[in-house]
Amino acid sequence: MCFSDFYFFQNCYKLFIMIEIKGLHKSYKMGSNSIHVLKGIDFSVAEGELVAIMGSSGSGKSTLLNILGMLDEADQGSYTLDGLPIKNLNEKIAARYRNRFLGFVFQSFNLINYKSALDNVALPLYYQGVKRGERIDIAMSYLEKVGLANWASHLPNELSGGQKQRVAIARALASNPKVLLADEPTGALDTKTSYEVMDLIQGINDEGRTILVVTHEHDIAQMTKRIVNLKDGLIIDDTKVNQIRALSNV
């Protein structure tokens, strides 16, 4: 139905395409050498997708994620997030976009170690200017969602790896972002815990949230709906897969 009219198509496009990247290049200077990490990436993600970005180390997958996460900027090419062109960002605007549009999950969790689980989850809301009482309520509801309501007042070092990652996921969700970016979310976890975390990610995706997962583990990649393979700065393979539910493996 979207193809019947050009203008209507434009609307559909805006409605459904969450991330669109065209001709992305990125190189890093290492002393006198320049390393060309991304060599022209064209890539788009529709709303509600769960995408795995795979590749060996040095393939450029982390660089791509950093650019998608506005933690780094591309040298060339365009990046559009939910219809909003992301370009010429200064630090301030990048921070605001990160805060409003993106949720991050890291391999090493990156929780603030002197803040309780609840306060960690509430932190993005602090930067949105949400009042403390409301912040705590919202953070608590996300902690409940990841099943850690009883651990709200615990410090990160009192939690297990899986629990820390679930707190990090709750924190990433707290600001209600358009896209969740996960960089090796299961890299520091054992298989069982990894699958539990993936189950949580699948559940969040089922609710319609767009999620990108960078991973080098095939079993994790199989739990997404689409696998994008990177090699030497180029996409060499982009296929939809039949999602394997993590719960069935636990």
Partner 1 sequence: MFDIERWQEIFETISKNKLRTFLTGLSVASGIFILVILLGIGEGMQNGIAKQFERNAANILYVFTGVTSKEYKGLNPGRQIVMKNDDFSYISSKYQDDLEYKSSIFRIWSGLITFKNESGAYRVEGVWPDYQFLENAGMTEGRYINYKDQENFEKVVVISEKIKSDLFKNGENPIGEYIQISNINFKVIGVYTDPGGEREETRVFLPISTAQRVFGGANNIRNLSFTLEKKDNFEEALAESERFTEEVSSYLKEKHIIAPDDTSAININNTLEEAKRFYDLINMIKFFFWGVGICTIIAGVVGVSNIMLIIVKERTKEIGIRKALGAEPVSIIVMVLHESIFITTIAGFVGLIFSLALLEFVGPMIETEYITNPSINFSVAISTVFILIIAGAIAGFFPAWRAARIKPIVALRDE
Interface residue with partner 1, options 57, 92, 208, 248 (CB under 8 A) = 92
**Piece of the chain touching partner 1 by CB under 8 A; list 78-86, 102-110, 144-152, 186-194:** 102-110
Alpha carbon distance 231, 240 (integer Å): 18
Lookup: tokens for 95 = 């921070």
The residue from 25, 39, 126, 231 that contacts partner 1 (CB under 8 A) is: 126
Binding residue (CB under 8 A) for partner 1 from 98, 164, 209, 226:
98
Tell how strand 50-54 and strand 210-214 pair up: parallel
Cα distance between residue 43 and residue 62, in whole Å: 15
Our finding on whether 119 is near partner 1 (CB under 8 A) is yes
Q: Which of 27, 44, 66, 80 binds partner 1 (CB under 8 A)?
A: 66
> Which H/E stretch holds residue 179?
strand 179-183
| Residue showing tokens 């924190």 | 171
Of 129 and 208, CB closest to partner 1: 129
Please report whether residue 165 would count as binding partner 1 according to CB under 8 A. Answer: no
Rule CB under 8 A: is residue 100 a binding residue for partner 1?
A: yes
Distance CA(110)–CA(163), nearest Å, equals 13
Pairing verdict, β 84-85 and 33-46: unpaired
Specify the residue, 155 or 244, whose C-beta has the smaller distance to partner 1: 155
Q: What are phi and psi of 61, to 5 degrees?
A: -70, -40
Alpha helices in 105-212 (DSSP H): 117-128, 132-145, 161-174, 191-206
Task: List the one residue from 108, 150, 153, 160 that touches partner 1 (CB under 8 A).
Answer: 108
Residues within window 208-227 making contact with partner 1, judged by CB under 8 A: none
Summarize as ranges the residues that interact with partner 1 (CB under 8 A).
66, 69, 71-72, 91-92, 95-96, 98-100, 104, 106, 108, 110-112, 114-115, 119, 123-124, 126-129, 131-132, 171, 175
